[in-house]
Amino acid sequence: MRESLPPFQALLDRHAGEVLAVLRGAVGRVDADDCFQETFLAALRAYPKLERDDNLRGWLMTIAHRKAVDHHRAKGRRPLPVEEVEEVADARADLPEPDSGVWTRVGALPPKQRAAVTLRFAGDLPHAEIAAALGCSPDAARRSLHEGIKRLRKELA
């Protein structure tokens, strides 16, 4: 018999902060509010049908990522104004200094690299979970991440 799922509220309490941080990194502070609602509503809809509860966090991050991608598609644009990025940095102490401009550059990366970098550094996801979130193999996720970081290094050098 499978382990039973924890109350959804526990999931919300545990992960709301980091989901919000990832979304702010991906779509900017203002639009992150809507993506946050969409993410948790989608998660709540699907929740009782989950088979496993061993990686709820990765599952949530996957949904958050998809909502961010949907959001970009709907808006038909790639983000991110500088002011919003600064506030994201405020929200999480371990993110790069706001004036470093890193997140502005992250926002300008090709979608897959941007997603991989955001999930790795704002979401703190391991490669396997980034792969799951992007719907690709772990190797491909590693490559996207690597390419993204290489490009950022070059631009910031």
Partner 1 sequence: MREGQLKERFAERAADEGLVDVAYTSADSPFGPLLLAATRRGIVRIGLPTQDGDELLAELAERVSPRVLEAPARLDGARRELDLYFEGGLRDFDLPLDWRLSRDFRRRALRAVARIPYGKTRTYAQVATSAGNGRAVRAAGSACGSNPIPIVVPCHRVLRTGGGLGGYGGGLPMKEALLELEGALRPD
| Cα–Cα distance, 110 to 106 (Å, whole number) | 9
Please say which residue, 13 or 83, places its beta carbon nearer to partner 1. 13
Q: How many residues bind partner 1 (CB under 8 A)?
A: 21
Q: What's the min distance (Å) between Cβ of 12 and partner 1?
A: 6
For partner 1, which residue of 40, 59, 103, 121 counts as binding (CB under 8 A)? 40
Q: Is 45 in the site for partner 1 (CB under 8 A)?
A: yes
Contact by Cβ (8 Å): 42, 63:
yes
Under 8 Å between Cβ of 152 and 102: yes
We find the least distance from the C-beta atom of residue 32 to partner 1, in angstroms, to be 9
Q: Does 36 bind partner 1 (CB under 8 A)?
A: yes
Residue the block writes with tokens 């550059």 = 105
Q: Which of residues 2-21 bind partner 1 (CB under 8 A)?
A: 4-10, 12-13, 16-17, 20
Out of 33, 54, 83, 90, the only residue in the binding site for partner 1 (CB under 8 A) is 33
Nearest residue to 35 (alpha-carbon basis) of 65, 78, 79: 65
Helical spans, DSSP H, in 1-134:
8-27, 29-46, 56-75, 82-91, 102-108, 111-121, 127-134
Contact residues toward partner 1 (CB under 8 A) are 4-10, 12-13, 16-17, 20, 33, 36-37, 40-41, 44-45, 47-48
